[in-house]
Chains A and B, each alone.
Chain A
Amino acid sequence: MSGFDKATLERHGLNDEEYQRIVKALGREPNIAELGMFSVMWSEHCSYKSSRVHLRNLPTAGPRVLQGPGENAGAVDIGDGLAAVFKIESHNHPSFIEPYQGAATGVGGIIRDIFTMGARPIALMNSLRFGELDDPRVRRNMEGVVAGIAGYGNSIGIPTVGGEIAFDDCYAGNPLVNVFCLGLSRADEIVKGVAKGTGNPVYYVGSKTGRDGIHGATMASAEFDENSAEKRPAVQVGDPFMEKLLLEACLEVMQSDALVGIQDMGAAGLTCSTCEMGSRGGAGIDIDVTRVPQRETGMTPYEIMLSESQERMLLVVKRGREREVEEIFEKWDLHAAHIGEVTDDGLMRVRERGVVVAEIPTKALTDEAPVYRRPMETPKYLAEVQKLSLPEKPAVADADAFHALLASPAIASKRWVYRQYDHMVRTNTLVLPGAGAGVVRVKGTAKALALSVDGNGRHCYLDPYRGAILAVAEAARNVACAGGEPIGATNCLNFGNPERPEIMWQFARAVEGITAACTALDIPITGGNVSLYNETDGKAIYPTPVLGVVGLIEDASQVLGRSFRKAGDAVVLLGESRQELGGSEYLKVTQRIVAGEPPTIDLKAERALQRLLVATIREGLLQSAHDCADGGLAITLAECAFGTGGIGLTVELPAVAPSGAWSSTATLFSESASRVVVSVARENVAEFLARAAAFGVPASEIGATGGARISVSINGRTAIDVAASEAETIWDTALGIFFKQRAA
């Protein structure tokens, strides 16, 4: 029988069995501070206890990988002695409870993960999911999230260079805020979150510790109900100015070689950073909470160890070099507090005024956390939703459907969003948001890096395995369309309650899909984040794995965008179109149907397509390239004409089989995978088509750029014929209209 009552254990998210494990690990009953520390470290958020057995199978190795999963972020070699350091992380739960601060601190957290590795953060991206925008609560939530991302990223001066947003009712009570950050470091100067060297001092630097965010990690490991708003005190408040100072000061300290290891205090705060650093170094850590700078009075060791106050870092410094490090922080008006020492006993020892108040083996909190192989079961809904029975004929004319899709928030221009983000600071942004993958150049080299974050919850709902494959493929394809060779990926896995066998099955299948796709496309996963319990009142979100892919562009001057460049170029479609309306934006928007199977994909064909793009962009054969995704070929073609100042297009498409009432609709709006629309200067067409044939990629010249209209015919019959400017206005203004944007 435990020394704590059931209610106390429940409040700490621990069950009886887990409590017994704690007693065994300690050889005695824990005190309340120790119970709190176990509770946060063994929470789903910190321990990955439900997901770990599945994540083990992800491909994480590759010749370029400098740092795989397990550190604060992953790193890949990009040549010139440099490393790209990147990671994606979720801040879903806090962003529902307090949208501005939830999203802002999500940005702050991922930036810390990157500079903790010794890398200067150079670009941010985000992947967002909200409910449908006709709900005013959803609009308010989205406005807050976007403002929070802007407020933090703009202030700290890291450009937000792109991202993606999708909308569905299932996210109304569980918005997703996934933030990706990319940094650059010297390949041989990657810094680790490790504590070693007995007697080395442990420093705390940054914001003072308050009572905010206590049990944030535990909150992120539970479902929501109608009382969730009461959890608002568990959301922290961000201070981007403090983080800017920390960022600059820490990078300066790292230049000095006085540093042993460093880690940010994110989820589970001081507890997590101390025990993880100790565990990685096989060492112990002995700290005194009395020496931790506090912003409130009367804080208990329990509160100090569990606080999730933002903008705090933990450093282990070489003994004898303390003054040097302190001086750097003083320059930035930061106070580095010496709170303890590294020990050789492998124990996490916490004192208050010298008296030991907690003593736990660091491994017990980290490596020895419970691992569950939770039961799985094929969801009952699946067979039902995979059956797609289309009405006899489409309910709306194709031209009307085209307009409706242009105005659909998922497809419409996100300018209303990204113009709130500073996307140009640091003057590296080569492709502006809304024009393709985000591309940042690497100053001092000829190179650039292309970035894309993608996911499709609807596809994964209909088939998590195939949906996950499609997400990997799309992210990599987007990067390839800019000319980037995909060299590494990070994933953010957003799912419901893993204790439900159907959710666990979705999770396992999605991870299998990512594994299959990353293996086939030769893209290592270097880290990521799992967000479970995305449910409100028992209703889960769509399973939503989001992939962030980094691509290397050898010659920054060859970077490609998606927009046509001039009139008279050939428009070439790469890949094959099939009748694949299952899970499409078309069915959702025009028929209110979410059903069918997501598009099929052949990963060999996908790989050939991406290689063709990277090779021919490098050879300068292409003028533009745009991935064919949401809304199908019709929308993709239109988007190529947008932002060009009026370059239209005329194309003729063969109808996809089988013929019938749905044939032209499927030709226009099917979301068949592995397709890209490119434009090619006349003189290069023959050579490009020959290259495509050599790579085994189906390529057909479907028309030409030019004129002021978007004109698409199928088997000789006009299907869409609209002024490009009219289509662009619909697409450009649709999102802003939801927010009653004033004309200014």
Chain B
Amino acid sequence: MKFAVVVFPGSNCDHDAYYAVKDVLGQDAEFVWHKEADLRGADVVILPGGFSHGDYLRTGAIARFSPVMDAVRKFAAAGGPVLGICNGFQILLEAGLLPGALLRNRGLKFRCEHVHVRVEQTDTPFTLACRPHQVLRIPIAHGEGNYFTTPDELRKMEQNRQILFRYVNESGVVTDEANPNGSIESIAGICNEARNVVGLMPHPGRACELAVGSADGLVIFESVVVAHARGALTAGSASA
């Protein structure tokens, strides 16, 4: 299957994601420049981390206007799986493809370290291969990862089971200490109502080999490969 890794000016984890799916997982992958209007027949779209347009305005606020985002919107609307990692998550929020917002970390400093996240739902294309409540050790690297939304929206998301990942301690328990950025309800990642658009702050692409400290992130990419093999992806290679 084919992954499209979208490159915005200032993306810097594009190679992390590309390497994970192409070299570690052995899937097809292609970089797609943000000015392109077409996703070149990709089966999955990844919006990678980085500092699109320098993030001098709100993170992701400019990237959402890139031509490629029209294609991503259409692809998502047709049910195609879209994964936003870190800055990619921020872009999905700005683009209105996911609910909520990301604020500055409560400690006001950038944080890069391994954290533990618990998989809350396994019925999305990116968590399908996870065990229920599996705890993954994956790094974060962000200054604005403090997830926030309104109480009404939060209730709705909980009802719809849209909260996919929470920050937990090593034993899989939600604690304030294990929450690295102050996210509401320790939310580390979410999906849309249709469950095909997923965004998370941790970087699964940086945890795909034991040589770099953890291989726990690989299951996120493996999930979408499994989903594709099962024909569970409605959009498939729908041209968007």
Cα of A743 to Cα of B12 in the assembled complex, Å: 29
Q: Is A157 an interface residue (CB 8 A)?
A: yes
The answer to whether the Cβ of A432 comes within 8 Å of any Cβ in the partner chain is yes
Chain A positions within 8 Å of B20 at CB level: 427
B49 neighbours in A (Cβ, 8 Å): 425
Q: Identify the closest chain B residue to A160 (Cβ).
A: B112
**Shortest distance between the CB of A53 and any CB in chain B (Å):** 43
Distance between Cα atoms of A741 and B109 in the complex (Å) = 10
Which A residues have a C-beta under 8 Å from some C-beta of B? Answer: 147, 150-151, 154-157, 239-242, 244-245, 331-333, 418-430, 432, 441, 443, 556-557, 741-744
The verdict on B179 contacting chain A, using a C-beta distance below 8 Å, is yes
User: A240-B54, A441-B211, A557-B211 given. 8 additional CB < 8 A pairs?
Assistant: A155-B54, A419-B113, A420-B110, A424-B213, A426-B15, A443-B23, A744-B107, A744-B180
Residues on A with beta carbons closer than 8 Å to the beta carbon of B212: 424, 427-430
B10 touches A155 (CB 8 A): yes
Given A332-B9, A419-B113, A744-B107, are A425 and B211 neighbors across the interface (CB < 8 Å)? no
B166 within 8 A of partner (CB) = no
Partner of A422, one of B106, B110, B176, B209: B110
Q: Closest residue of chain A to B54, judged by CB?
A: A241
Residues on B with beta carbons closer than 8 Å to the beta carbon of A557: 211
User: CA separation between A424 and B141, bound complex, in Å?
Assistant: 8
Residues of chain B in range 1-18 having any CB-CB distance to chain A below 8 Å: 9-10, 12-13, 15-16
Instruction: Write out the residue numbers on chain B whose beta carbons fall within 8 Å of the beta carbon of A420.
Output: 109-112
How far is it, in angstroms, between the C-alpha of A157 and the C-alpha of B8 when the chains are bound?
Answer: 13
Using Cβ atoms and an 8 Å threshold, which residues of chain B touch A743? 177
Q: Find the residue from B13, B179, B180, B211 having the highest chain A CB count within 10 A.
A: B211
Q: Chain B residues with Cβ under 8 A from A331's Cβ?
A: 33
10 interchain residue pairs of minimum CB distance = A157-B12, A241-B54, A155-B51, A422-B141, A744-B107, A422-B112, A427-B16, A419-B113, A420-B110, A424-B206
Q: Report the bound CA distance from A418 to B106 in whole Å.
A: 18
User: CA separation between A572 and B84, bound complex, in Å?
Assistant: 48
Q: Does B73 contact A (CB under 8 A)?
A: no
A239 lies within 8 A of B54 (CB): yes
Interface 0/1 of B176-198, CB less than 8 Å to A: 11011110000000000000000
Chain A positions within 8 Å of B110 at CB level:
150-151, 154, 420-422
Q: Are B13 and A244 in contact (CB under 8 A)?
A: no
Contact string against A for B residues 86-107, beta-carbon threshold 8 Å, 1 for contact and 0 otherwise: 0000000000000000000111
Q: Is the CB of A419 within 8 A of B112?
A: yes
Q: Nearest residue in B to A155 (C-beta to C-beta)?
A: B51
| Most chain A CB atoms below 10 A, which of B12, B33, B106, B141 | B12
Known: A240-B54, A427-B19. A741 touches B107 (CB 8 A): yes
Query: In the complex, which range does the number of interface residues on chain B fall in?
Result: 35 or more
* Docked-complex contact A244 and B12, CB < 8 angstroms: yes
* Nearest CB on B from A172, distance (A): 24
In whole angstroms, what is the CA distance A556 to B209 when docked?
A: 13
Contact with A along B33-53 (1 / 0, CB 8 A): 100000000000000011101
A-B residue pairs in contact (CB < 8 Å), sample of 5: A151-B110, A419-B112, A427-B209, A443-B23, A744-B182
Nearest CB of B to A439, in Å: 10
B81 on the A face (CB < 8 A) = no
Smallest beta-carbon distance B205→chain A, Å: 7
Contacts of B177 in A (CB 8 A): 743-744
Identity of the chain B residue whose Cβ is nearest the Cβ of A242 in the assembled complex: B54
Q: Which residues of B contact A155 (CB under 8 A)?
A: 10, 12, 51, 54-55
Residue of A nearest to B11 (CB): A157
**Least CB separation from B139: chain A residue:** A424
Docked CA distance A151–B51 (Å): 11
What's the Cα separation between A240 and B55 when bound, in Å?
A: 10
B54 touching A157 by the CB < 8 A rule?
A: no
Instruction: Write out the residue numbers on chain B whose beta carbons fall within 8 Å of the beta carbon of A742.
Output: 106-107
Most buried by A among B20, B54, B55, B105: B54
Across the interface, name the chain A residue whose C-beta is closest to B212: A427
Roughly how many angstroms separate A245 CA and B49 CA in the complex, as a whole number? 16
Q: How far is the CA of A147 from the CA of B12 in the complex (A)?
A: 19
- B23 contact set on A, CB distance < 8 A: 443
Give the residue name and chain of the B residue nearest to A421 (CB): B112
Instruction: Tell me how far the C-beta of A413 lies from the nearest C-beta in chain B, rounded to whole angstroms.
Output: 12
A240-B51 contact given A424-B141, A427-B212, CB 8 Å threshold: yes
Q: Which residues of B contact A240 (CB under 8 A)?
A: 51, 54
**B50 and A157 contact, CB distance less than 8 A:** yes
Let me know if B111 and A157 touch, CB within 8 A.
no
Report the Cα distance A194→B194, complex, angstroms.
57
User: What CA separation (Å) do A30 and B202 show in the bound complex?
Assistant: 59
Bound-state CA distance A332–B34 (Å) is 11
Q: Which residues of B contact A421 (CB under 8 A)?
A: 110, 112
- In the assembled complex, which residues on chain B have CB atoms less than 8 Å from the CB atom of A239? 54
CB distance from A449 to the nearest CB of B (A): 14
